[in-house]
Chain A
Amino acid sequence: MNSIITAHSIRFVLLVLFQVILFNHINFLGYINPYIYIIFIIFFPIKNNRLLFIFLSFLIGLTVDMFSDSGGIHAAASVFIAYTRPVFLKFAFGTMYEHNNVKFNNNDFGAKLVYIALLTVLHHIILFSLEIFSISRILMVFQKTLFSGIFTILMITLVSIIFSRKH
């Protein structure tokens, strides 16, 4: 139990640091950045306490907000995808989720990709609509969601392949 808490604390700190030091400054084509810290939310163990999970998601979003002076946009987007995650788990993994044996390491790749993509797109739409905060520039919200979303999905898939433990 203790090792799980330590592992997740280290993962939390490392993801925030990588996000604010490295990935917030990529600015590919001027404005495209991946938001890889949501790996923490996407691959959080499913059987764990949901209250704790929602609170930790809020905390990781708020920490990223603090570092990037963005008010509460990351916190809002993170807590939203954390709360709605079961819906997407059910959609992507189907009966496996209902039988409580979804393990992120040994699932088929397609289902995992769908799951990552849906959560990322939802996160980015909330993030960018709160960031831009004006209906007259809604096209820019979609544009940023699309391009940053592709980048984030790519990065998260790569990270999950590299760090997946094969048994």
Chain B
Amino acid sequence: MQQIINFIIRNKNFLLFVLLFGIALIFTIQSHSYHKSKFVNSANFLSGGVYNSVNNVSSYFNLKTQNELLAAENKRLNELLFNTKIDTNAIVLDSTSGLNYKYTTANVIRNSYNLSDNFLLINKGINDSIHQDFGVISSLGLVGIIDNVSNNYATVISILNSKSSISVKLKKSGHIGSLTWNGNSPNIIQLTDVEKIAPVSEGDTIVTSGQSSIFPKNIPVGTVINLKLDATENFYEIDVKLFNDMTNLEHVYIIENTEKQEIEILLENTNE
């Protein structure tokens, strides 16, 4: 017993080092698996509060570009609204039926795009009924998926993250693939698992497939700029240029699929 205590006292620096280094490594490994970074994340009142007050000042610097983006979106929506063939004056019997996707607006208070696993922080949380696995889009395209949520803040796994994998399709032919990121450029993202028989060519538009129960169908993603067959020669490896500028995000929309639970229960029962 005496010797054990002596050993601990003699090597206390080394033991503390091993303990803390081990804890740090566990946190690191946890952060590399999907939805596991529970303990250390920026969705808490301290870091959320700091970023929120910084963002209150810094958001003024790009007000002009953000206003132009919002005005462009309003223009597009107005064109849709006033050119539609459906009679908008008809009495709507029940406005809530058929409302599968609920939208909430949020502001990005921290954005990162230079790491290999990027996260965003937004200023909506449990108090605004935001929960894990809700989709996040901007007016131009995909942004990411909600990861950790606190009372007033939420972290978003950006599509610029090695953990992110989102189901998308070719707009023209409907062939599906999954969207991943290789960590090189924040404008270009990779599309894999597209069958060799798919008629894909440069300039094709990529949209979300609606198969994941997170995002609705046909949210624009980007255009094909480069394609080649992978090593097995069965699937394409495609570079996609994003419509969205991930380096300049301010206003985003959070999408809640109100039927998600029903779909998930059904899938679980089917798999059993």
Contact = CB atoms under 8 A, between A and B. Distances in A.
Nearest to B42: A69
Interface of A: 17, 20-21, 24, 27, 30-31, 33, 50-51, 54-55, 58, 61-62, 65-73, 75-76, 79-80, 82-83, 130-133, 137, 140
Contacts, number: 107
Interface string B113-140: 1111101010000000000000000000
B183 A72 contact: no
Contacts of B229: none
Interface residues of B, number: 39
A31 B30 CA distance: 24
Interface string B4-44: 00000000111011001101111111111000010011101
Contacts of A70: 31, 115, 117
Contacts of A76: 21, 24-25, 28
21 contacts: A21-B50, A27-B113, A30-B114, A30-B185, A33-B114, A51-B16, A54-B13, A54-B20, A62-B24, A66-B41, A66-B44, A68-B42, A68-B115, A71-B27, A75-B24, A75-B27, A79-B21, A80-B21, A83-B21, A133-B28, A133-B116
B63 interface: no
Given A30-B185, A70-B115, 14 more contacts: A24-B112, A30-B114, A33-B114, A51-B12, A66-B40, A66-B44, A72-B24, A72-B25, A72-B27, A72-B28, A75-B27, A76-B28, A82-B17, A133-B32
Nearest to A28: B114
